[in-house]
């Protein structure tokens, strides 16, 4: 018999019996993502190598040793995408998606990294990514976290996953911090392994993520400087507002001052959801803000925040615990308008939109992000094709909501308790197709 040709190490098949349950899980996630008003984008698997180098940073493991890079027949240097954010921004810039508009995008597909294969670490793996462009406030970060929380809840794994958050501040504050961190690391280099040692002058922050718990212990006793003492005021305010919004929304999280993420492009908020399951102790989902990346890739200054769920790890976790047509929305059903200048109002708007989502899991509702005048918010509502606008009636200091049909212009004032039944009669929420 002729010897058969095997698959490539670290690249595995999903067989038909697995694919059904994988599709079910993907559909649950997609429905929730659509429920939050995100639109799908499909991107090439291969991009120019220069794109990833510029986006991710030269002194990262990913660029140094994990990329699948090759020359095509014309001698052009190309790379199999190791992550989705760089390609998503490249497309946004190229197609004018960031011109005076907000984008909430999602994608799903394979990513490639030449890592050492092990359980839950593959060379081809699948990510479902979410990226929000054009909003800089903590409301956007908070809602992303709420969205992921809803996914874990729906999949019944909330208790299996721990959310860690941190802020890595502005590039300027990070630069100041890195100076003192480099001094500390140089004084204590005997505790570092070869790889961490090599990062002292090129990517000292990365060392925080790489050191063993034992070394961390020693460093803490030696009072390693912490980034939070070097943060700029605006990052501090952003982070404390985010923490408040999470608390008000009953999200459990832990602040991890060592959480810095592996790619260079992050600014401010970073987060990771880590599996507590003893057989898969890895990060299931991770992300953060990258407010300077669009500009760095040649676009105009556009704040952004995003994350990626590692689907392979999620499937493994679900298997471990449970042994066990998506439709692009042509329209959004409702757009929630409110005065975003006060955190109490943001919290109230979050509460109401979350209640509506609980009641109508298939409704497509967008909460306004980033404040703005009434006119601006109506403009945004129309732009995303909303059928109805819901306005919190803050002016009257009352608990009523104004419901406006954006097609006919008709509006009515409803009590908060009446809004659910009224929406039910207006939007065919049980049968959206
Ligand atoms: P890790 O620290 O585990 O290497 P990472 O920080 O490199 O993860 P990200 O670049 O943030 O990972 O990717 C987001 C998610 O994609 C991860 O949280 C994980 O779930 C998944 N992921 C990343 N690399 C792999 C891989 N080699 N195999 C399987 N899933 C992966
Ligand atoms: Mg990695």
Residues ≥6 apart with Cβ < 8 Å to 175? none
Cα(410) to centroid of ligand 1, in Å?
A: 49
The mean per-residue pLDDT over the stretch 257-262 comes to 86
SS (H, E, C) 168-217: CCCHHHHHHHHHHHHHHHHHCHHHCCHHHHHCCCCCHHHHHHHCCHHHHH
Euclidean distance between CA atoms 380 and 66, whole angstroms: 41
Task: Say if CB 284 and CB 389 are below 8 A apart.
Answer: no
- Just give the CATH number of 16-170+231-325: 3.30.930.10
pLDDT at 325: 34
Euclidean distance between CA atoms 130 and 85, whole angstroms: 9
Indicate whether 329 pLDDT > 70: no
Domain ranges of the chain: 16-170+231-325, 334-426
pLDDT digits (tens, 9 = 90+) for 379-389: 999 998 899 99
Euclidean distance between CA atoms 229 and 195, whole angstroms: 26
Indicate whether 274 pLDDT > 70: yes
Ligand nearest to the CA of 114: 1
Cα(376) to centroid of ligand 2, in Å?
A: 40
Cα(113) to centroid of ligand 2, in Å?
A: 8
Ligand nearest to the CA of 281: 1
Q: Reduce the DSSP state of residue 308 to 3 states and report it.
A: strand
Residues ≥6 apart with Cβ < 8 Å to 217? none
> Residue of the nearest CA to atom 21 in ligand 1?
310
Q: Cα Rg for the chain, rounded, in angstroms?
A: 23
pLDDT at 375: 96
- pTM (2 d.p.): 0.84
Helices (H) and strands (E) in the chain, counts: 15, 16
Instruction: Name the residue of 277, 286, 288, 289 whose CB sits within 8 Å of the most ligand 1 atoms, as the mutation to test its pocket.
Output: 286
Cα(271) to centroid of ligand 1, in Å?
A: 13
Task: Determine the atom of ligand 1 nearest the C-alpha atom of 82.
Answer: 10
**How high is the mean pLDDT of the chain?**
91
> What percentage of the chain exceeds 70 in pLDDT?
96
> Residue of the nearest CA to atom 16 in ligand 1?
310
Which DSSP string corresponds to 99-144?
A: TT--EEEEEEEEEE-----BTTB-SEEEEEEEEEES--SHHHHHHH
pLDDT at 396: 55
To the question of domain 334-426 being in CATH 1.10.10.10, the answer is: no
Task: Determine the atom of ligand 1 nearest the C-alpha atom of 209.
Answer: 2
Task: Determine the atom of ligand 1 nearest the C-alpha atom of 121.
Answer: 28
pLDDT at 428: 67
pLDDT interval class at 201 (50, 70, 90): confident
> Residue of the nearest CA to atom 5 in ligand 1?
262
> Residue of the nearest CA to atom 25 in ligand 1?
121
Indicate whether 264 pLDDT > 90: no
Residues ≥6 apart with Cβ < 8 Å to 39? 103, 104, 105, 106, 328, 329
> Residue of the nearest CA to atom 23 in ligand 1?
310
Cα(280) to centroid of ligand 1, in Å?
A: 13
Which residue has 């954010």 as its token pair? 85
Indicate whether 304 pLDDT > 60: yes
pLDDT at 268: 95
Ligand nearest to the CA of 209: 1
> Residue of the nearest CA to atom 20 in ligand 1?
310
Cα(283) to centroid of ligand 2, in Å?
A: 10
> What percentage of the chain exceeds 90 in pLDDT?
75
Instruction: Name the residue of 310, 312, 314 whose CB sits within 8 Å of the most ligand 1 atoms, as the mutation to test its pocket.
Output: 310
**Would you give the DSSP letter of residue 229?**
G
Cα(288) to centroid of ligand 1, in Å?
A: 14
Residues framing ligand 1 (Cβ under 6 A): 83, 113, 115, 120-122, 125, 127, 262, 282-286, 308, 310, 312-313
Q: List the structure tokens of 103.
A: 């984008």
């Amino acid at each position: 018999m002729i010897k058969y040709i095997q698959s490539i190490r670290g690249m595995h098949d999903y067989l038909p019996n697995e694919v059904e349950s994988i599709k079910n899980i993907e559909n649950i996630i997609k429905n929730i993502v659509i429920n939050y008003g995100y639109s799908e984008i499909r991107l090439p698997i291969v991009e120019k190598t220069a794109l990833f180098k510029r986006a991710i940073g030269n002194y990262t493991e990913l660029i140094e040793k994990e990329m699948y890079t090759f020359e095509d027949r014309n001698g052009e240097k190309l790379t199999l995408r190791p992550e989705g954010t760089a390609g998503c921004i490249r497309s946004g810039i190229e197609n004018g998606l960031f011109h005076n508009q907000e984008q909430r995008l999602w994608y799903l597909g394979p990513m490639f990294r030449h890592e050492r294969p092990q359980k839950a670490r593959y060379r081809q793996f699948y990510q479902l990514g979410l990226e929000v462009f054009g909003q800089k406030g903590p409301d956007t970060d908070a809602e992303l976290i709420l969205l992921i929380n809803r996914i874990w809840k729906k999949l019944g794994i909330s208790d299996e996953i721990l959310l860690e958050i941190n802020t890595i501040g502005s590039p300027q504050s990070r630069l100041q911090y890195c100076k003192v961190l480099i001094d500390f690391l140089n004084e204590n280099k005997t505790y570092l392994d070869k790889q961490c040692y090599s990062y002292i002058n090129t990517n000292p922050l990365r060392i925080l993520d790489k050191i063993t718990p034992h070394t961390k212990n020693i460093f803490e006793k030696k009072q390693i400087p912490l980034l939070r003492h070097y943060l700029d005021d605006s990052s501090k305010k952003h982070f404390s507002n985010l923490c408040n919004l999470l608390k008000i929304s009953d999200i459990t999280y832990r602040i991890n001052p060592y959480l810095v993420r592996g790619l260079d492009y992050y600014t401010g908020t970073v987060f990771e959801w880590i599996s507590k399951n003893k057989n898969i102790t890895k990060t299931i989902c991770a992300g953060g803000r990258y407010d300077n990346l669009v500009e760095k890739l040649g676009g105009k200054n556009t704040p952004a925040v995003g994350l990626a769920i590692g689907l392979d790890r999620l499937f493994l976790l679900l298997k471990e615990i449970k042994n066990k047509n998506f439709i692009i929305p042509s329209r959004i059903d409702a757009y929630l308008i409110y005065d975003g200048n006060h955190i109490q109002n943001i919290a109230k708007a979050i509460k109401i939109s979350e209640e509506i989502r609980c009641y109508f899991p298939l409704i497509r509702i967008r909460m306004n992000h980033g404040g703005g005048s009434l006119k601006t918010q109506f403009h945004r509502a129309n732009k995303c094709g909303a059928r109805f606008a819901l306005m919190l009636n803050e002016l009257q200091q009352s608990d009523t909501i104004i419901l406006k049909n954006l097609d006919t212009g008709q509006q009515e004032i409803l009590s908060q308790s009446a809004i659910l039944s009224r929406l039910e009669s207006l939007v065919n929420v049980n049968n959206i197709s």
